[in-house]
Amino acid sequence: MAEKTYSYYQFRKELGYEIYLRFEDEDYESLFSEVLDVMGFEKLDREKIKSNVFRRNHTRILRVIKASPKVARQIGSANGMLEKFGPESFSQMGSYDVYRYRNIAMMVTGNHNLLWELGVRSTRDKDALRVIFTRYLSFAFAAEGVVGFWGVPIEEGFVVLNPKGANYESIFIDTKKNLVITYEGVKELDPEMQILRLDPSIKNEMRQMKKEQLLSFLSIHTINLSYSGLDPAMKKGIFELTQIAQGYVYPFDNFKPRMNSKEV
């Protein structure tokens, strides 16, 4: 029997994060190539991956496969009260967390498991795939204290938005490594960074937020989903960010999204 080969992708390989995707079908893998490229996942050499040391408490590998008929039915089924809040849902199944994007995919994760699984029903909606892989990053980063937000970078820092308003782009902040990770690339965390919250009720003025207001705002608007609340490492990361950055409430009508937003 021939040895089964896997394809691995690593998120921002140059930064050393142990966050991977694994594919077992080359033709199926190709359907994700545009999304993975724009999000910063880099394909690894098959021979070099064999020398990697996977650590259960630090490494996260998401096995991406085509959903079986049984899983596909679960992905496409209604989910009661959660339906009115949008296509995403989050639940627990024993010691595992289950994330679902209706009609697209279902992901099973577990903090004590090195290998997580994503069953995909449809690859047509590229925006939905970006949301799903961004959620995966937020789950994988939680214990490391790296915090993610839906938003877009600006010269002074970044603007926190909802997924659609951000064109499904994300910002990840690593206060340990002093890094800001966006679709545009990676840069150092600026000690003069500004974080903007858009408000349609104010006109032609920008109001500074108190540190406790900024802390509350960022804690509520992280990408991460959890039944038990934010991981202690994430809470620490958010607190450290508020000690560096300054928050501002900015008029919604005055904000002009940049025109070179990366799209798939």
Confidence of residue 264 (pLDDT cuts 50, 70, 90): low
How much is the pLDDT for 49? 74
Q: Between β-strands 7-11 and 41-43, what pairing exists: parallel, antiparallel or unpaired?
A: antiparallel
Indicate whether 1 pLDDT > 60: no
State the Cα–Cα distance between residues 157 and 258, nearest whole angstrom.
13
Domain ranges of the chain: 7-143, 145-254
**What one-letter code names the amino acid at 115?**
L
DSSP for 208-241 reads EPPHHHHHHHHHHTBS---SS-S-HHHHHHHHHH
How much is the pLDDT for 112? 80
**What one-letter code names the amino acid at 162?**
N
Q: Between β-strands 147-154 and 170-174, what pairing exists: parallel, antiparallel or unpaired?
A: antiparallel
State the Cα–Cα distance between residues 152 and 168, nearest whole angstrom.
9
Indicate whether 55 pLDDT > 70: yes
State the Cα–Cα distance between residues 110 and 97, nearest whole angstrom.
6
